[in-house]
Structure 1
Amino acid sequence: MQPTFLPWSGYFHLMSEVDIFIFLDDAQFQKSSWHNRNRIPLNNAPHWLTVPVLHQQLEQTLLETRLKNTTPWREKMTKLLEQAYAKHSFNDEIGSFIELISNDNFTSLAELNIALIKIMSQKLGIKCQIIRSSELDIPGIRTQRLISILHSVNATEYLSPQGAREYLIADGFTEQTSISLSFQQFTPQVYPQRKADHFIEKLSMLDVVMNIGWCDSKAYITQIYLGN
């Protein structure tokens, strides 16, 4: 999976379902994508949190994508997060994320995203082994490279997000390897969102945590959450 910014609950559900999780940190950066933005609720509507980055070359990877430090975006974003979740039941949990976002030692988008995902997964009790594709040094593109990566870690089954179904089938994944292919099955549930007059779906996982805490959030991503 590509390391995206403060991803939604489905991302962590997939992590909880596998033995080995591979960050595709050398995938190509895409402008106006989940790579550097996600949503939280503000005034009963989804609000984008966007990490400003430098787009220096056409095919730069997430690892090569540098954070733009010429504007005070870190301070603005952390203040917005503090204000948005100030009165939530679990607002004291925001500190770990604010600390990472505020840390100007992170200069790469991939490094920031991976740090945020790792701390979230640890607090959710996810135990999978984590590998970065940039460390494997495997050439190729699309499905061909994916299969090579899977062979390099001796995988016997690949759990894919639903969004990749079309191109994996079109590329003939199952014809090229004996590794079995399955697709993630995750249906996000309604959870209580503070002072919301309607439920806003598919926000950052951070919103789930701020509203129901770590214990219920773990139940949420493993689809045993019973609600409040």
Structure 2
Amino acid sequence: MKVAMMQPYLFPYLGYFQLVNAVDVFIFADDVNFIKGGFVNRNKILFYNEERYLTIPCLQSQNKCIKEIQIYKETKGYPKNILRTIEQTYAKSPFFADVFPMLESIFNSEVESISKLAASSVESVSKYLELNVEFKFSSVSFGHTKGQDKSTRLISITKELGGDTYMNPIGGAKLYDKDFFESKGIKLDFLESKTITYPQFNGHFTPNLSIIDVIMFNSIEDVNKLLTKYSLI
């Protein structure tokens, strides 16, 4: 069994979904500190062929866990302005009619926390893409491991699930030691995405955008092909 754990990101980039698709159990790390300026409450789309952030307004304070951060729903124009921006950008994309109702449902949901909204974006897109993966929240299922250091916690969680492999994006190669994981009986794999392109409006490809961009321009079948374009290191 393969396991991965990441912070819940708002409609994250394709590489995040490559990791989701590569494992059996994916855990949303919602009991770690919320970092302002990250991708928990925002992500990038195209807007008239230029990058633009979609940002969920949040009530923030120092040293709060992601699960404690509430959406500031009193913000003027929320969420209508976000949905309007997406519609203005992608109304003429080939899969707009398939994707936009899902986005409306997520952004108009009654959830109060950014953790649940971001996780919902990942779960909904995974369902749309027909990915076979089980989702869990670290605060709910593994709160008892929170005091452990990062590597030990990931090993403990993987073992508790009956897993034998922990997977992490390639950036984790600077943080985690394969030999240490191996000494504890867990294989550690790093996922490195290959160069990916697909048709966008103007012929010039803008990489590393939200999955929203990917599913607006690609069929479910084609997105699933893109999800396999990575190497394990």
Report the TM-score when normalising by structure 2: 0.88
Match for residue 112 of structure 1 among 101, 117, 135: 117
Inter-partner Cα distance in structure 2 for 1:3 and 1:176: 29
Task: Look up the match of 1:186.
Answer: 193
Compared CA separation, residues 150 and 43, structure 1 to 2 (3 A): same
Helix, strand or coil: the match of 2:54?
A: strand
Inter-partner Cα distance in structure 2 for 1:169 and 1:59: 28
Does residue 134 of the first structure (1) align with residue 163 of the second (2)? Answer: no
Match for residue 204 of structure 1 among 205, 210, 219: 210
Task: Look up the match of 2:69.
Answer: 65
- Structure 1 residues 172-183: aligned runs within 5 Å: 173-174=180-181, 177-183=184-190
Task: Look up the match of 1:22.
Answer: 27
Compare 197-206 and 143-152 and name the one that shifted more.
143-152
**Letter of the 1:213 counterpart:** S
Query: In the TM superposition, what is the alpha-carbon distance from 1:173 to its structure 2 partner?
Result: 3.7
Give a deviation string over 1:46-100, Cα, whole Å, max 9, x none: 11111111113x2211111100112132111011111111111111121111221
From the two aligned structures, give the one with the greater strand fraction. Answer: 2
Helix, strand or coil: the match of 1:49?
A: strand
- Structure 2, unmatched stretches of 5+, are 1-5
Does residue 52 of the first structure (1) align with residue 57 of the second (2)? Answer: yes
Give a deviation string over 1:130-179, Cα, whole Å, max 9, x none: 22111122222422222222222122111111121111139x74366210
Task: Look up the match of 1:157.
Answer: 165
Compare 202-211 and 176-185 and name the one that shifted more.
176-185
Match for residue 14 of structure 2 among 5, 9, 19: 9
Inter-partner Cα distance in structure 1 for 2:44 and 2:155: 32
Helix, strand or coil: the match of 2:115?
A: helix
**Letter of the 1:21 counterpart:** F
Helix, strand or coil: the match of 2:159?
A: helix
Task: Look up the match of 2:226.
Answer: 220
Inter-partner Cα distance in structure 2 for 1:17 and 1:145: 20
Report the TM-score when normalising by structure 1: 0.90
Does residue 167 of the first structure (1) align with residue 175 of the second (2)? Answer: yes
Q: CA RMSD in A?
A: 1.8
Helix, strand or coil: the match of 2:176?
A: helix
Task: Look up the match of 1:122.
Answer: 127
CA contact (8 A) 1:42 1:84 kept: yes
Helix, strand or coil: the match of 1:184?
A: strand
CA contact (8 A) 2:155 2:181 kept: no
Match for residue 107 of structure 2 among 94, 98, 101: 101
Percent identical among aligned pairs is: 30
Inter-partner Cα distance in structure 2 for 1:173 and 1:116: 33
Q: How many residues align?
A: 220
Match for residue 143 of structure 1 among 110, 131, 151: 151
